[in-house]
Amino acid sequence: MSTLSRHAISILALALLATGCSGARSHVVADSARYPISLSDGVRDQDGKLLPDEQKQVVGGFTYSYRAWGWLWRIVSFTGDHDISDAVNEQVAAANGDAIVNMSVKGEMCLWNLFTIVGVLPDCSNVRVRGHIIKAAPPTGPQPGDVEASAPSAALDGPTDREPLAAIAAAD
């Protein structure tokens, strides 16, 4: 084989190996959540009024993670819609909470991206969902007896003190 064709084959192989694209996408949904889920500080009480910060007591942390898979950039999504309703209903009930506020959705790549250099392998993306589970305190302020009666589960991650949300935010 001539030097010229050897170089041509090398360059072609290199181009094929080094050209590719991959990706993953998913959609976070909560179609059957029984509790309000807010990505901001704001949440409404039973009467539809905004709940003041001093009445929001953090009783637990909501955590949920999953890995989304896709193929051919993001054209084919193996994960599609990812419903977090069951996790929301379970964790809020376990913490004796009323709502989730400050929910965040974090997207990350995963190490598998390294292997997608050939461009035909599926790809993945890590998704982490976090939030504060809160309980609405009576407008007159928390009663010491109530604090002891509904202490959060120790198994939950995140802030577990029954402190007003404003205090938690200031500490962050």
20 binds another protein (CB under 8 A): yes
Q: Is 153 in the site for another protein (CB under 8 A)?
A: no
- What three-state secondary structure class fits 134? strand
* Nearer Cβ to another protein (112/155): 112
Stretch that binds another protein, among 35-43, 137-145, 148-156, 157-165 (CB under 8 A): 35-43
The yes or no reply on residue 12 touching another protein (CB under 8 A) is: no
Which of 3, 155 has the CB closer to another protein? 3
Report DSSP letters for 57-125, one per residue: EEEEEEEEEEEEEEETTTTEESSEEEE-HHHHHHHHHHTT-SEEEEEEEEEEE-GGGGGGGGS-S-EEE
Q: Given the structure tokens 């179609």, which residue do they identify? A: 31
Total of chain residues touching another protein, rule CB under 8 A = 69
Residue 102 zone, left/alpha/beta (φ > 0; ψ -120 to 50; rest): left
Q: Which residues bind another protein (CB under 8 A)?
A: 7, 10-11, 14-15, 17-51, 68, 70, 73-74, 85, 88, 98-99, 102-111, 113-114, 116-117, 119, 123, 125-127, 136, 169
